[in-house]
Amino acid sequence: MTGGAGAPPRAPYRAIAHLDLDAFFASVEENVDPSLRDKPVIVGGGERGVVSTCNYIARRFGVHSAMPMRTARRLCPQAVVLPGNHRLYGEYSRRFTKVLQEYSPLMEKVSIDEAYVDLTGTERLLGPVIRTCRAIQRRVQEELDVSVSIGLATNKLVAKVASDFEKPRGFTVVRPGNEAVFLAALPVERLPGVGPVMLAQLRDRGVVTIGDLATVPERLLRLSFGEVGEMLARRARGEDPRQVTPREPVKSISRETTFEEDTTDTALLESTLIRLTEDVCRRLRRQRLEARTVTVKIRYSDFITHTRSHTLRRPLDVDEALFEEVLALFREARQRRYRIRLVGVGLSNLVPRAWQDDLFDQELPLLRDLDLKLDAIREKYGRNAIRRGAAEE
């Protein structure tokens, strides 16, 4: 179905497609075992874990991603629960990427199961943009045996919302000039950037739909929410200047600091390492990644540099868990009595976020929820707006 009324975007308008694989992990599992296709399927952690994803049969019972597994089992006791095969999902994701790259060099992978493709100016080579999107949709279905929903619009924001408009196998086109109209009737929580906390605050102000949000003066949103308020105002109008930017896979994330004076103060050194760990973990979560390997770097006053690394038994992105790793590595690596000039923290061996936290530790989802709340505060008020006590210098 084509939604949002009208023809495909044409020059001078941009033509941005957002493609989102439907119930991706569950769909791959159904390919491996076709007998699952008529059953509710949940992919996720153990009894104390969370749902990574589920098929559309399970969703009819109210199951959804990130739901505690105990709740999902209660809602749908007849579901087939699978632990997941992330190596296989990664292979499917690479095949998906390869298909998209045949249609435009401007392809931006944003997670294991979704991507943007800029099709602006491809009409002469590929024909009408709508026809190209339909061809991509057919190829993904035929070559991966996984359905994909597509949103086509003049910018990334509206294309992303449109791809979720008619799942599964959706195809929604929002023509140029109709962006705000398309968004207006949708619940405000469908707008990227509106999470549970923001949603509660908006509802307290009588904002229910994106159209309601668009009528709120931008200055009031800025007074209430700071720079995030300005962003919300633009998004409610369907405005988004971001370009589709091809990305090289992130291989590592690191931060280091050089002290104004070389030091042997253990409290200062360890609080600095905690602060650096917070920073790299926040960048990790922002890119929906987890790290398998942690590295600590120490440079002494004589410029001799020592590093220590440890590969975890499972990937992580939670501050508290990585604090322990970093501090243990620092204490192991610090074998000289010289003053220390520089310390650094690095995360590598990165993998896409898999939502299987408390398969091993039921506290991880709660710790991550705290981290995400702290991330939101820092995004709004700056990275120094809030710190754990141990990170204070």
User: pLDDT tens-digit profile of 284-320?
Assistant: 888 878 899 999 999 999 889 999 999 998 888 888 8
3-class SS of residue 368: helix
Rounded CA separation 95/90 (Å): 9
- Check whether 364 has a pLDDT greater than 90: no
Query: What's the pTM value of the predicted model, to 2 decimals?
Result: 0.65
Residue ranges covered by each domain of the chain: 16-20+87-181, 24-85, 185-236, 252-391
114 is catalytic: yes
Catalytic residue among 30, 114, 179, 270: 114
What's 191's DSSP letter? S
Q: What percent of the chain has pLDDT over 70?
A: 85
CB 289, CB 250: distance < 8 Å = yes
Tens-digit pLDDT profile for residues 174-192:
999 999 999 999 999 999 8
- Check whether 29 has a pLDDT greater than 90: yes
Residue 99: the pLDDT is: 96
Tens-digit pLDDT profile for residues 309-319:
999 988 888 88
DSSP code string of 166-189: T-SS-EEE--TT-HHHHHHTSBGG
Say which CATH architecture domain 185-236 belongs to. Orthogonal Bundle (1.10)
The crossing angle, in degrees rounded to 10, of helices 364-381 and 227-236 is 90
Give the other-Cβ count within 10 Å of 225's Cβ: 17
C-alpha angle with apex 134: 236 to 210, nearest 5 degrees? Answer: 10
Say which CATH architecture domain 16-20+87-181 belongs to. 2-Layer Sandwich (3.30)
Largest Cα–Cα separation, the chain? 72
| 312 φ, ψ (degrees, to nearest 5) | -75, 160
| 240 φ, ψ (degrees, to nearest 5) | -160, 105
The pairing of strands 80-82 and 41-44 is parallel
The pairing of strands 148-153 and 16-21 is antiparallel
- Check whether 373 has a pLDDT greater than 90: no
CATH topology of domain 24-85: MutS, DNA mismatch repair protein, domain I (3.40.1170)
CB 172, CB 166: distance < 8 Å = yes
* Domain 252-391 CATH superfamily: DNA polymerase, Y-family, little finger domain (3.30.1490.100)
User: Any residues with CB less than 8 A from the CB of 336 and at least 6 apart, and which?
Assistant: 300, 304, 306
Fold match between 16-20+87-181 and 252-391?
no
Residue 342: the pLDDT is: 95
- Check whether 382 has a pLDDT greater than 80: no
Give the other-Cβ count within 10 Å of 314's Cβ: 15
| H or E element that contains 260 | strand 252-263
